A and B are shown apart, each in its own frame.
Chain A
């Protein structure tokens, strides 16, 4: 059974940093692109980052580029999101997701972890 379990969320002050983790199991982690998607309270879904199977290629939207870094450790089947210079608009539930196939849908999602940026 595919499982994605996020951790590392919490309350953080604006301008500070936070690192999220996602532990994957039930599939060969190193064979899949992985991603982070976030959802602000009562809002829709926003893609945050994607990483290639080896970790050599990463992709970000302009809203987080230069502040967020996605990485992975295939030996540990783990995905990470380092978030720096956090802003109040980064407040959201962050989901780890597996990317697959044609047109790149996200076929499995974690339960999500809440990040609140507030003073």
Chain B
């Protein structure tokens, strides 16, 4: 069975600090990988996704993530966070074939102080 582990439960940063959120998954086959963000009171929005190809994926709002197959990891990064990045971040995975549900990690709460 697939599983997703997010190591950081709550991260607190000052504006302009760099961000890295860890995500590891467990699955024996080929996967699709996602990072979603949930701003307070809003629904989930896709930040970025990896299906195949270049393991360094760039998403919206300056976020990027790197897929390291040997480590089963898909860490999210941003060089300089802003106060508006305060949100809940979820890593998710599904099997590469179409038709399967996403399995989510427990989420990481990011709080950015101005």
Do A and B bind? no
